[in-house]
Amino acid sequence: EVAFVTDCASLVYIGAYFVVFVCALVYLATRFRSSFLRVGVAAASTPHPTLPCDHCQFPMSRHHGGTVPRAAGDKPCPVPGSRSLTSAQRIEAATTHKKQVVLPDVHGWDVEALFRKYDTEQTLLLSRGSLMDMMREVGLEHKLGDAFAATVRLAFDAHSADSHFLAFPEFKQLYYYISHAHPDLLPRSTKLQITLLGARELPSTDPN
**How do residues 80-121 score in pLDDT, each as one tens digit?**
444 567 777 777 777 777 778 888 888 999 999 999 999 999
DSSP strand E in the chain: where? 125-127, 165-167
pLDDT at 135: 94
| pTM for the full predicted model | 0.51
Q: Give φ, ψ of 126 to 5 degrees.
A: -115, 135
Query: 35 versus 205: which is more confidently predicted?
Result: 205
Q: Rounded distance, CA 129 to CA 126, Å?
A: 8
Q: In whole angstroms, what separates CA 50 from the centre of its chain?
A: 21
pLDDT in tens, 146-176: 999 999 999 999 889 888 999 999 999 999 9
Looking at mean pLDDT, say which of 73-77, 103-107, 177-181, 186-190 comes out highest. Answer: 177-181
Q: What sign does the CA torsion over 16, 22, 28, 33 have?
A: negative
Q: How far apart, in whole angstroms, are the C-alpha atoms of residue 192 and residue 208?
A: 28
Give me the pLDDT at residue 207, please. 55
Q: Count Cβ atoms below 10 Å from residue 197 Cβ, excluding itself.
A: 4
d(CA 156, CA 132): 9
N-term to C-term CA, the chain: 142
* CA dist., res. 133 & res. 113, Å (int): 15
Q: At 161, is the secondary structure helix, strand, or coil?
A: coil
**Mean pLDDT along residues 9-20:** 72
Asked if residue 77 lies in contact with residue 56, where contact means CB atoms within 8 angstroms, the answer is: yes
